[in-house]
Amino acid sequence: MADAPPALVVASNRGPVSWQRRDGQLRPKRGFGGLVTALGGVLQREPGTWVSVALDHADREVAAEHGATAFEEDADGGRYRLRLLDVGDRYEPYYNEVANRLLWFTLHELWAAPFEPPGTGWRGPWEDGYLPVNAEVGRAVAAEADADRSEVLLQDYHLCTAGESVREALPEAAILHYLHTPWVEPSYLARLPDEMTARILRGLLAADVVAFSSPQWTRAFRRCAIEHVGAAADGDALLFEGRRVAVDWFALGVDEGSLAESAASGETVAAGDDLDAEIDGRLLLLRVDRTDLSKNILRGLLAYEVLLEQHPQLRGRVWHYGHLNPSRQGVAEYQTYLEACEEAAARIKERFGESTCTLFVGDDYPRAVAALQRYDVLLTNPVMDGTNLVAKEGPVLNRRDGALVLSPRAGAADLMGEGALVINPYDVEAQAAALHAALTMSADERAARADLLRRAARIGAPEDWLAAQRVALRDAVSRRGVPS
């Protein structure tokens, strides 16, 4: 055992495998995204367990089959050791109320003042949903971990307080908590009830390493820990309750293999033929996003409208295609927001012609990939975004040296800012000016910038991204008790 690699224990809300019932059987299917690529790959070679929460009926059936024990599952050529937690009625308050409403809105500065956040009703879902589910995940992680030899990797804002339960059960555990979201300044985080602010920060500080996707978020997190729970700065790390907690960032780059595979698929090729007909020789101004409030879709449309107002010669020569993946349409603000986007698109079509602008709302990944291959300008203007992977995947997939218009409040901007046109996401007029510059850029400048963008997007490929985190985690553990 002495030479065996440390066992990984990963915990995230969504696991690497989902199930679908076909022909009376529950059939496993691997998920996608950088996390599954990075961790799924490593877990093919090293021992480890992935703890996650049962999200739907099929998950719950699988969980019921295995009870409180881990099990192995093959999916799409990989084998995974899984522990799936059915948290019952607590799922709704844990996931929809606290994680995706209270925390998501707070961490992306999405509350509509002066009425939001609603000042009542959070303690129930917090106490009866978020905290117990996190504790259950933490206990399951501890049960799967080997105190001396495991590396525990906790994922994202759903599990902010799970680390406390791991630490309580295994005081010596090596724990890294990665936040895929942004983080906010102390004054904004304080819109949460005080005990939640404190508990979330203490929960994260139970890790040895708190990791983000951008230095913007590490700075904000450090200030929150200092102002709200009295942590002390120690270089870039924090001292908290006699422990040293590293706070670091690890940019996640594109998964080239999986992108290449998607690009080569027959579905993508067919979708590309359809798109070519629609583009019809015009310049393609593209956005590809979930319909999330943080993505700033509406201001992008308004910027396009200003562009066509100010530059009549572009009318008829540009097609703005918004490829929108519907998201959280059960949340009233998301519905209202999508309606406002659709109204803006309708107005633009009425003013400048039916074929000026198309919003596609649906789930069609091959079409998204084909569009990314073909854009002249890609607009990624989120008001806040942990990374914004589209801003990285676009340049790698694109075949036209397309330009990138990018918000500095996306984590992607740290590395992609040099090749992109960086714009203030709140300033519609500045975005219109950047879109004009991008659409009229010389071929030489486009090529030079596209080269910079491709290089930057490849930094932090999923397996490198994970390896860097594990190095940081081992370093943090090795420095325990060593004065800095």
Nearer to a second copy, 305 or 393 (CB): 305
Instruction: Return the SS3 of 186.
Output: helix
- CA distances 391 to 93, 128, 293, 413, Å, are 32, 38, 17, 9
DSSP per-residue letters across 194-218: HHHHHHHHHHHTTSSEEEESSHHHH
- Contact code string over 206-245 relative to a second copy, x by CB under 8 A: --------------x-------------------------
CA distance 162 to 202: 10
Say if residue 321 is exposed, middle or buried (CB neighbours under 10 Å; 0-12, 13-18, 19+): buried
CB 461 within 8 A of CB 254: yes
Beta strands in 13-77 (DSSP E): 17-22, 25-30, 48-53, 71-75
Instruction: Return the SS3 of 237.
Output: strand
Number of residues that bind a second copy (CB under 8 A): 43
Tokens 């899984």 label which residue? 82
β-pair partners for 8: 48, 151
Residue 166: φ, ψ to 5°: -65, -45
CB 13 within 8 A of CB 158: yes
Among 190, 239, 259, 472, binds a second copy (CB under 8 A): 190
- Indicate whether 437 belongs to the interface with a second copy (CB under 8 A): no
Among 113, 277, 443, 482, binds a second copy (CB under 8 A): 113
- Indicate whether 412 belongs to the interface with a second copy (CB under 8 A): no
Q: Which listed range, 237-245, 251-259, 347-355, 426-434, lies at the site for a second copy (CB under 8 A)?
A: 426-434
Among 8, 283, 383, 406, binds a second copy (CB under 8 A): 383
Q: Which listed range, 7-15, 37-45, 155-163, 423-431, lies at the site for a second copy (CB under 8 A)?
A: 423-431
Instruction: Give least dist CB 480 to a second copy, A.
Output: 32
Residues 6+ apart with CB under 8 A from 281: none
Nearer to a second copy, 77 or 330 (CB): 330
- Indicate whether 351 belongs to the interface with a second copy (CB under 8 A): no
Instruction: Return the SS3 of 477.
Output: helix
- Indicate whether 324 belongs to the interface with a second copy (CB under 8 A): no
Pull the structure tokens for residue 144: 């799967």
Among 101, 323, 409, 449, binds a second copy (CB under 8 A): 409
> For the chain, how long is the longest CA-to-CA vector?
71
Instruction: Give least dist CB 310 to a second copy, A.
Output: 11
Tokens 């562009």 label which residue? 307
* Count of residues in the chain: 484
CB 121 within 8 A of CB 195: no
Q: What does the DSSP 8-state code read for residue 5?
A: P
Nearer to a second copy, 1 or 115 (CB): 115
Residues 251-310 that bind a second copy (CB under 8 A): 293-294, 296, 298-299, 302-303, 306
Q: Which listed range, 23-31, 187-195, 279-287, 394-402, lies at the site for a second copy (CB under 8 A)?
A: 187-195
CB 306 within 8 A of CB 428: yes
Residues 455-484 that bind a second copy (CB under 8 A): none
Among 29, 123, 351, 480, binds a second copy (CB under 8 A): 123
CA distance 396 to 261: 13
Pull the structure tokens for residue 128: 């009866």
Q: Which listed range, 31-39, 52-60, 105-113, 323-331, lies at the site for a second copy (CB under 8 A)?
A: 105-113
Instruction: Give least dist CB 110 to a second copy, A.
Output: 5
Q: Which listed range, 5-13, 184-192, 228-236, 263-271, lies at the site for a second copy (CB under 8 A)?
A: 184-192
Q: Which listed range, 14-22, 109-117, 315-323, 454-462, lies at the site for a second copy (CB under 8 A)?
A: 109-117
Residues 330-349 that bind a second copy (CB under 8 A): 333, 337, 340
Q: Which listed range, 116-124, 324-332, 356-364, 463-471, lies at the site for a second copy (CB under 8 A)?
A: 116-124
Instruction: Give least dist CB 331 to a second copy, A.
Output: 12
The footprint of a second copy (CB under 8 A) covers: 109-120, 123, 184-185, 187-188, 190-194, 220, 293-294, 296, 298-299, 302-303, 306, 333, 337, 340, 383, 409, 424, 426-431
